[in-house]
Structure 1
Amino acid sequence: MTNVSEQRLMAKELLSEFQITSLENLPFRRLTNDYEKEVPLDLLCQSLHVSNRAGTNARLLMGKGQSSYYLHTNETIMAEIEAVLKIGIEKVFLQIIASDENLSTAEKIDDCRKVIEKVRGTFGNDLVIMTDPQGVCFREDLRWGVSTNEKEIDAERTLDVLIHTASSFADAGINAFITIGRVNHEVKAVREAYNRLYPGVDVYSFSTNSETSNAYIQETKYDPGLALTGQKILVGNKHEMILRALIDVAEGTQMMLQKPIESFHLVEYIRCLIEEEIALESFLSKPVVKRLIEDNNLAGDLFVDTSSLLSNLKKVKLGAYEVSGTYMIYKMLEENPSVSEKLIFSLLDEMYKGFCSAAGNSLGLLVGRNMSWYARLAKEYK
């Protein structure tokens, strides 16, 4: 019996003559030296957190020795936006926390609105301003909404606050309002309110928002269980997330922001639905999807006319939101003296390229804390 380890097989014995010959012109697996997708700098949006609340701690953004902060006051935000504009980014996502936790909900909304008014008044109409309502009803247990006497969430009153917040922020001059991704019918409520009062303001959504401990990492880093709020979709529940996205489309969202950015598979699937590479009916007829719809009685007549839904879907753009945990991972790498700045840029560039590839022609926006840093270095490293 021949010892297998003593046998020596050659490539030309195992491949065809055509394959052997082709190695002369095509020795490696790469078929092109051109990227299918580059990261469009004009679609970058810098996320900026603002709070005048006593006791808040400023945290550095990417960029050692720079004066950029993850958490700004009402004063420092102006200098930061000016710096962002000089880099060439003309879009900002303001996440505003009311200056005093003891304010009433209406007072918190007004407190946040004043920040938007000041930003709009300072920078005029050339700056694209987006906001979400996070700072209005964010609770210590990381749930969002209006509390009942039993400390639970009152869904209808929460939608009322959402409508009030969206209207107030639109009145202050925002270009787009991003729904929070936690309450049923939130897109419908805001879209209908804007149709009546502010038809020129866009509605975006965190449609596939998941219960990831990667978000709100300052709060979850010692207790990841806090991420399980009961309001968002369980990580890995792909069909539920896509179904939620389709409901938001039917209710009027104009752009879905994937949160966290790393879930490329969801964006790719939705893009395939948009481009009809996957038939909408085939997704809706999946047993797991039909069961979700029937068991929860959540869709009403939304999916009766799929041609209307598909028409709306084709108008929707796909964006990404880089959560705090993703930011912190790269920030920790930057603080490691053995890791080069160019490597960190390359890692971010690869992640952004991956998302751009998944979103394809439906790509609409990349939102994150690292965008101004990335845009500045893109001019040097690309």
Structure 2
Amino acid sequence: MFTTANLNRRIIFNNEAQVHKNQFSQTIDIDLDLEGVVQRPLQNLAGYFIRSVESALEYTKQLIDKGITSITYRLGGGLETDESDSYVYAPLLLNSTPNVCARFDADKILDKHVGFYTLLRESFPKGQLHITADPFGIAPNLSDGAWGARNEKGELDEEQTFLLLEKIADKYSACDVDALLTMGRVENEVEITRSVIDKNNRTTKIYAFSQNIESKAAYVYLDKLNKADSYQKILPGNISEMKIRTILDIYAGVDSIIVKPSENLHVIQFTKDYVTSPEVALLFLESILDSDIFGDRNDIRSACEKVLADRATFIKNCTRVTIGTYAVSGGYLMDKLLEDNKGKEFSFNVQNEKYRNIISIIGDRMAHIIDRSAESYFDFIEIGGASE
């Protein structure tokens, strides 16, 4: 340490942002079609596995024993394709062709999800395990990139999609999951989910991908598959739309906004600003209300006008909103490539800086940092690998 004050610019010599296991949620991907205690490697994601239900239950117990008591579950079904000789974990393949569309029904898949979450909660009671449930695998589509219920022609059906969202909210919350992710893809996701949960007096929290972008990095495990533009998500960099969606989800009654991908520190920052200083958000709405940003979406303009006319509800809702992040598979891949090239300690230090930056912004509004690397990050600390 320098002894001459004028040659030392640093003021604080300890880390203000402290990292704890209860800030994190380990991601587990599950293939409901796998039988026995089985795990399969996932291409492009070295060291990360798709697990059968039995394997996932065992792994959950191992994580809890390590002190990681929040887990995010992503469920899908397995399909063999002619495009790869290796195992393919492919919730995105559902409904991608007419034949597959005929074989998969969203309600049947939902029932399989319910069966898993029922078993999971019976095995790990509330308080022992915080369950975040991701419903993406119920109704994705590879051919057009969109999520939702389909008609007989394989086309998106608005009425059936809204009905599916109601069923997901009802059945997932009945399983007593702690949090349910809304995907930031379909209009009124949070409103529908909030209505169902409140109507049934359930305690499940709504975690929302309010600023979900059309990221190509989120699908690196689909190396040989072309990911279509869904037209359901925000274009990367379109921060004005991210702000609009954030405000509308807060007004609709979201419990936590999960920033995806987690590298979008600027998005974390404005979200924190909004929930701690609601007037900042309202001033933004006022500044754009008469602009051409809405195009022909007069319904969104009207929704923003409703927020401005009901400021008290928005401000009240802000007081309860927490913030989290979600690391996409592309982030995991970059960490692994860095580890292969520069070693585990170097990769850890990069992760450590990222996590501390996230924690420093969110502060006391922390929900969870949802990340496939949570376990390995803390394992490295506990074996004494961290240089700090």
TM-score (norm 2): 0.83
Structure 1 runs of 4+ with >3 Å offset: 52-57, 60-64, 98-101, 148-152, 221-224, 287-295
| Contact 1:255 1:317 (8 Å CA) reproduced | yes
Once the two structures are superposed, residues 327-350 of structure 1 have per-residue CA deviations (whole angstroms, 9 ceiling, x without a partner) of 11112333x2x5221211111111
Provide the rounded CA distance (Å) in 2 between the counterparts of 1:280 and 1:63: 38
Which of 219, 223, 226 is the equivalent residue of 1:216? 219
| Contact 1:61 1:331 (8 Å CA) reproduced | no
Provide the rounded CA distance (Å) in 1 between the counterparts of 2:290 and 2:20: 35
| Root mean square deviation of aligned Cα | 2.8
Which residue of 1 is the match for residue 335 of structure 2? Answer: 330
Which residue of 2 is the match for residue 183 of structure 1? Answer: 186
Give the C-alpha shift of residue 293 in structure 1. Answer: 4.8
Which of 65, 79, 84 is the equivalent residue of 1:86? 65
Deviates more, 1:71-80 or 1:352-361: 352-361
Counterpart mapping for 1:54-93 below 5 A:
58-59=40-41, 69-93=48-72
Percent identical residues? 23
Unaligned runs of 5+ in 1: 1-22
Once the two structures are superposed, residues 39-94 of structure 1 have per-residue CA deviations (whole angstroms, 9 ceiling, x without a partner) of 23211111101113369982279998xxx743111111011111111110111111
- Which of the two has higher C-alpha Rg? 1
Which residue of 1 is the match for residue 350 of structure 2? Answer: 347
Provide the rounded CA distance (Å) in 2 between the counterparts of 1:234 and 1:93: 25
| Contact 1:62 1:373 (8 Å CA) reproduced | no
Change (3 A) 1:61 1:166: farther
Provide the rounded CA distance (Å) in 1 between the counterparts of 2:62 and 2:331: 23
Provide the rounded CA distance (Å) in 1 between the counterparts of 2:359 and 2:290: 27
Which residue of 2 is the match for residue 139 of structure 1? Answer: 141
Once the two structures are superposed, residues 219-253 of structure 1 have per-residue CA deviations (whole angstroms, 9 ceiling, x without a partner) of 3x4577x2521000000000100110111111111
Which residue of 2 is the match for residue 258 of structure 1? Answer: 259
Deviates more, 1:352-361 or 1:149-158: 149-158
Counterpart mapping for 1:286-325 below 5 A:
286-287=287-288, 290-293=291-294, 295-297=296-298, 298=300, 299-300=302-303, 301-325=306-330
Give the C-alpha shift of residue 155 in structure 1. Answer: 2.5
Unaligned runs of 5+ in 2: 80-93, 95-102
Provide the rounded CA distance (Å) in 1 between the counterparts of 2:318 and 2:292: 22
Provide the rounded CA distance (Å) in 1 between the counterparts of 2:136 and 2:258: 15
Counterpart mapping for 1:227-242 below 5 A:
228-242=229-243
Which residue of 1 is the match for residue 89 of structure 2? Answer: none
Deviates more, 1:370-379 or 1:128-137: 370-379
TM-score (norm 1): 0.85
| Contact 2:44 2:220 (8 Å CA) reproduced | no
Which of 356, 360, 363 is the equivalent residue of 1:357? 360
Which residue of 1 is the match for residue 97 of structure 2? Answer: none
Number of aligned residue pairs: 354
Q: Name the SS for the 1:174 alignment partner.
A: coil
| Contact 1:265 1:358 (8 Å CA) reproduced | no
Q: Name the SS for the 2:12 alignment partner.
A: coil
